[in-house]
Every structure is written in C-alpha cells, then in structure tokens.
Structure 1
C-alpha cells in the first residue's frame, strides 16, 4: 500500500510543532485522525519514525532520514500548485511568515486584512518567535528580522528601518522626575532585554561615545513586554518606533533625553531560503509589505 499525502503532512506537522495536538490544530484535523495517520505510515514503512511518551515526542534516526524526503515531496507539491496558480495569474498556497512578537503585532497584523483582500487565495500561517529560527527546520517561507543580519546563507530583502528612542510614561516621569542627562539614568528603573546584549546599548551620547551601555533593572526577552511595563509607569525603556509610534502620538509614552539621543535606525529585512526565482506568493507579500513600510517612513 502506498503512502498518502495526508500521512506525510501529519508526520511533518508533528515534527515541526512538537506534538500531535498542535499538528492537528495546524492541519485542521482531529488529534485522533493525525495519530491514526502516523500509525498507518509507520506500519507501511515497517519502522518507527517517532518515539512517543506522555511528555514528549522524539524523532528516530530513521525518522530523520524519512523527514528529509517528506519535506522535499511536500515542497514539490507546493511548487506544482504555485505553477498552476501562476498560470491563472493568482498567487496561492500556504505562506509561512515568522517575526518577533512586537513586529508581528504592530507592523504586520494591521496590514493583513488588506493583503487578504488583494490575495484571497494565499493561506497565511503567522508564527512569532523572539529568537532567530532555522527557516528550513520550521518550513518558514519568510522571516522578518530586525537588526544586523548574521547568517550569510540567507537571501535578504530590505524592507525599511525603524528608529530607536528612549521612552517613559508621563506617570513615571511625574513620580520619579525626568532625567536631565545620561548619567542621571543610573538613578532610574531601566527596562532592558535579556538578549541580545546589543539591545541594551542605548543610542545616547555619553563618555562611552554614541552608545550608552545599560544594566537593566528589569529584563525581558520581548520588546512587547518592555513596552507594556513602560506604559504601566514601571521604568524607562529604549524601544523602536514600529511598536511605539502610536503611543508617542497619543502621549502614552514620551521621549526622554532628546538632545542626547543619537539618530539610530534598526534595519528591517525579510529573509528567505531561495536560490531560484521567488515563488509568486512570497514575491507578492514582499512587494506588498515593502510598499507599506516605505509609505510609513515617508509619513514620518
């Protein structure tokens, strides 16, 4: 009996999500349906692909070998569907996009309704992660990364930049006073990142040059957590315009040490693994999003 597409999709989804429950949710199937598909596949292959316990699922050595072929088959099917859609002039298929939580919330999600109206046949899968991911392992088409790129194996398309500012809420400044110089920040509650350390070097002129290294009083892995703390009046943070522009416009946050601030911009890039011509669904998203980012930059 031949292996079916449903079984291959179930196997790949379980590996990528780490659980049968999460795989069922991704595929829009029942947990029992995914479990049965895996069992059928292993029976047909007469081998164990996944070791299941009550706490975790681990892929076997045989499973690793079969996974590589499975991904190649699924990618070929995606490509064939794209080619048929391209003949109709309508990009289609699943588009997997990864971004840090703040960027996804503030810069990507607001444009999704318009993108869906323009490309209704593209199925979006939006994933958030605070760390850089392996695009191939997670079967991600596009990852949006903020800051300098380190992985030279990736193709990258610049989407724009976003300025960094030192910010606090009016309530915090009313209670603790506004710092009048950079050195005065040492007497304040500073909100910073657990990693990377470079995000804790604020763009302020000081004895250190055009960057001031901070030691956070409170550290978090996500900029969205730091934004929330700053809005609640907990402390002072250095955050990017893409997540705080509305807060600044509405007065929920205000810039501090404006004169001492160096104009520093974080580069924003869309990265992807493609050595050939971009698929229609990826190209359509990149063109659409780059135009919106350029429009926002012009407004500011």
Structure 2
C-alpha cells in the first residue's frame, strides 16, 4: 500500500502542533482518526516515526529524516494547486502571515475584509509574535519585520517606514506636568520594552548625542501593551506612528518634547525565503499591503 497525502498531512500536523489532539483540531478530525493515520503511515514505512508516552510525543531520528521529505511533498502539492489556480488567474491557497501584534492589529486587520473580497480563494492565516520567528519552522509564508533586517537568507520587500514619537496621555500630563527638557524625563514614569534594548533608546537630542537611553519605570514585551498603558495614563512612551497616529489625531495621546525629537523612522519590510518560487498569493498580498500603506 502506498502512503497517502492525508497520512503525510496528519504526521506533519502532529509534529507542528506537538500533540495528536492539537493536530485533530487543526485538521478538523477526531483524535482517533489522526492516531490511526499515523499508525498506518508507520506500518507502511515499517519504521517508528514518533514515540508515544502518556505525557508527550517524541520524534525519532527516522521521523526527523522523513519529516523533511513529507514537507517537500506537501509543499509540491500546494505549488501544483497554486499553478492550476494561476491558469485561472485566481490566486488561491493558504497564506500564512506573521507580524508583531501591534502591526497586525493596527495595520493588517483593518485591511482583511477588503483583501478577502478581492481574493476570495486565498485562505488567510494570521499569527502574531513579538519575537523574530523562523519562517520555515513556523510554516510562515510572509513575515512583517519592523526595524533593521539581519537575516541574509530572506528576501525583503520594503513596505514603508514609520516614525517614532514620544507620547503621553492628556491625563498623565495634567497630573504630572509636561517634561520641559530631555533631562527632566528622569522625574517621570517612563514606559519601555523588556527587549530589544534598542527600543529603549529614544530619538532625542541631548548632551550625549541624538539618542537618550531610558531606565523604564514599567516594562512590557509588547508595543500594544505599552500603548494601552500610555492611554491609561501610566507614563510617557516612545512608539511607532503606525500604532499611535489615530490616538494623536483623536487627542488620546499627545506628543511631548517635539523640538528635541530626532526624525527616526523604522523601516517596515515583508520578508520571505529567497529559495522558493514566489506564489501569486504571496505577491498579491504584499502588493496590496504596500499600496494601502502608500495611500495611508
């Protein structure tokens, strides 16, 4: 008997999700059905791909080797299906997009409805991560990276840039007063990032140059968390325009130390692997996102 695509998909999904129940949920199947598919696959191959215990699944050495081939086969099938869709001029298939939570919420989510109207055959899967991910490991087609790029194995498409500004809520400023100089920031509650440390270097002119490293009174890993804290009057923050422009327009956040602020724009790039053919579903999403950011 020959291996089926359903069995390969079950195996890869179990590995990626870390459990049979997780794979069953993703594949919309029963856990027993996924388990049987995995057992059939091992029987056909006459190898043990995964060791099962009551607490966890552990992939074997043979399983690791087979996993790479299984991924290639499934990717080839997806590519073949994509080529058929191209013949009909209809980009199709699953498109996995990853971005930091603030960019996902403020820049991508508002565009999803219109994008889906234009490309109804594309199945969007949106994932958020405030850390840099491995695209292959996370099975991601496109990742939006904000800031300088360091990974040379990736291809990048510039989408634009976003300025960083020093901001506080009117309530905070009414209660604590507005800082009159960079030095006076030490007397205020400053909201900063747990990592990377570079985001705690604010673009401000001072005696040491054109950046001011803060010692946060309150830290968070997510820019969206810091935004919410600033809106709640917890302190002064430095955030990108893409997530705070509407707050400034509405008056919920106000820019402070405007004269002392150095123009510092964070580059925004869509990244993907160079060694893969660029599917039409990837191209049309990047084109759409780029156009919308240009018009914003």
TM-score calculated relative to the size of structure 2 = 0.95
Aligned equivalent of 2:39: 39
**SS, match of residue 90 in structure 1:** coil
Structure 2: which 5+ residue stretches go unaligned? none
Is 1:141 the counterpart of 2:141? The answer is yes
**Correspondence for 2:219:** 219
Q: Which moved more, 1:211-220 or 1:48-57?
A: 48-57
SS in structure 2 at match of 1:257: coil
Q: Identify if the C-alpha distance between structure 1 residues 264 and 9 changes in structure 2 by more than 3 Å, giving closer, same or farther.
A: same
Q: 1:281 to 1:189 in 2, by over 3 A?
A: same
Mapped partners of 1:259, 1:60: distance in 2: 61
Q: Quick one: structure 1 residues 74 and 131, their matched pair in 2 at CA, closer, same or farther if it must change by over 3 Å?
A: same
Q: Deviations over 1:3-41 (max 9, x none)?
A: 211111122122223233332333233333323322322
Query: For 2:37 and 2:264, how far apart are their aligned partners in 1?
Result: 52
CA distance in 2, matches of 1:21, 1:227: 36
Q: Which ranges of structure 1 fall in alignment gaps of 5 or more residues?
A: none
Question: CA separation of 1:250/1:76 partners in 2, compared to 1, >3 Å: closer, same or farther?
Answer: same
Q: Aligned equivalents of 2:209 and 2:20: distance in 1?
A: 52
Q: Deviations over 1:54-79 (max 9, x none)?
A: 54433221111011001100110011
Structure 2 distance, partners of 1:84, 1:20, is 32
Q: Is 1:14 aligned with 2:14?
A: yes
Q: Which stretch shifts more, 252-261 or 33-42?
A: 33-42
**SS in structure 2 of the partner of residue 237 of structure 1:** strand
Correspondence 1:77-226 to 2 at 5 A: 77-226=77-226
Tell me, yes or no, if structure 1 residue 68 matches structure 2 residue 76: no
TM-score by length of 1: 0.94
- Residues 280 and 185 of structure 1: CA distance in aligned 2, closer, same or farther (over 3 Å): same
Q: CA-atom RMSD, angstroms?
A: 1.5
> Alignment length, in residue pairs?
296
